[in-house]
Amino acid sequence: MEVLELILLILATVLFPGVVFCTYYALFLEWVDRKFFARLQNRVGPWITGPKGILQPIADIIKLLAKEDITPNGVDRAGFVGAPFFALTLALFSLMFVPIASTSGILSFKGDLLIVLFISTVFGIIIIFAGYVSASRFSIVGTARAGLQFVGYEIPLFVSAIIPALIARSLTLKEIVEWQIAHYPLILCFPAMIAFGIFIVCSLAKLEKLPFDIPEAETEIVAGWATEFSGKKLALFRLSTDLKMLLLAGLATALFLGGPAPWGFTLPADLNPYLAALIYSIWFVIKTIIVVLIMSTLKAAFARYRIDQALRGFWRYLTPLSLAILILTPIVAYHFYW
């Protein structure tokens, strides 16, 4: 490998579209979410820091980093300190697979969709772990709820993410995106549009947003599994939640909305690669914002469910529905898409 290529790869990993871009963009998405959610509720939302409060999420993180960092007595020290780092590292690592500035992510190999989904499952386990080691009553109840919710949403989420792979006949994100560029975004295909809905609902559950913020329902169990975390650790968890939102929005974009490719026209093959990267990134931003706005709207329209009601919903409706689509997809795809 040439030296220049190596430097470019390092720059891509660290700066764009790697760690730095993803972090700031995730914080920006949090602002979009908060502002839009607030406007739906007839509030103004973040307002003071920066123009229209755009710097508020960054200010929150900086404030938390400056706060006293408490490790309560009786917690499992190694686990308690390690859990936020695990969460953040895994979120950043899985973002390396999401196509942002080109049709493939920074890392890309055959079957990488599976590894992204696998890592997203580990998030749930880290949350359970973090709550379990913090040895607080509210954390224990929150953890039990997180675990229960986890077994609810994980299967429909997986199945709905596999359906685009079935239609595009590949488990590689790059090839799914390229299939969509060659044909049409998968959200326009019949079974995949239902899968998109399931994916969004399960994403809300995975991000612990309303109406599925049951594991951290503040009016019931303070902050649930995150009750004991403060200062830097809480900042890392907050950041990893934002990154998770970016990951899920990015996955939804790559799987259903045609990835970072523009709608309506295809880029010529001999285009300057830097210009192409810019266009791809702009379309990625537009599409992820659309996904986040859909999530915010759903958040504003529901009351929080109780854990038993949420689980019943997942097992009685979403799981059978997603499995039914899974069976239906090859039949439909055989006739129309392959």
Partner 1 sequence: MSEERMFRIPVGPQHPALKEPINFTFIVDGERVVDVKPRIGYNHRGIEKLMESKTYIQGLYLIERICGICSAAHQGCYAQNIEEAAGIEAPPRGVYLRTLIWELERIHSHLLWVGVAYHEIGFDTLFMYVWRDRERVMDILEMISGNRVNYAMNTIGGVRRDVTPEIVDNALKALDYLEERTKYYKKVTEEDDSILARTVNVGILKTEDAKRLCAVGPTARASGLKVDVRRDDPYGAYDELDFDVVVYDTCDLTARVLVRIDEVLESIKMCRQILQNLPSGPVRVKFKRKVPEGESISKVEAPRGEDLHYVKANGTEKPERYKVRAPTLANIPSVCEMLKGGYIADIPIVFAGIDPCIACTDRMLFIDVNTERKWMWTEEELRMYARKWYKKHLKEVVRERWKC
Contact residues: partner 1, CB under 8 A: 40-43, 137-138, 140-141, 144, 210-211, 213-214, 217-222, 300-309
> How many contiguous H segments (helices) and E segments (strands) does the chain have?
13, 0
Short-list 222, 128, 204, CA closest to 160: 204
Cα 12 to Cα 156: distance, rounded to the nearest angstrom: 33
CB of 214 to partner 1, least distance (A): 7
36, 59 Cβ separation under 8 angstroms: no
To partner 1, the closest distance from the beta carbon of 36 in angstroms equals 12
Shortest Å distance, C-beta 311 to partner 1:
11
E strand map for the chain = none
Q: Which is nearer to partner 1, 210 or 248 (CB)?
A: 210
CB of 120 to partner 1, least distance (A): 24
Tell me whether residue 114 or residue 222 sits nearer to partner 1 (CB atom). Answer: 222
Q: Which is nearer to partner 1, 256 or 314 (CB)?
A: 314
Q: Please state the closest distance from residue 38 (CB atom) to partner 1, in A.
A: 9
For residue 96, the minimal CB distance to partner 1 (Å) is 35
Closest CA to 109 of 180, 167, 12, 174: 174
Name 26's Cβ contacts closer than 8 Å, sequence gap at least 6: 239, 242, 243, 245, 246
What is the rounded distance in angstroms from the CA atom of residue 167 to the CA atom of residue 337?
A: 7
CA 169 to chain centre: 23
- Give the span between the Cα atoms of 240 and 90, in whole angstroms: 9
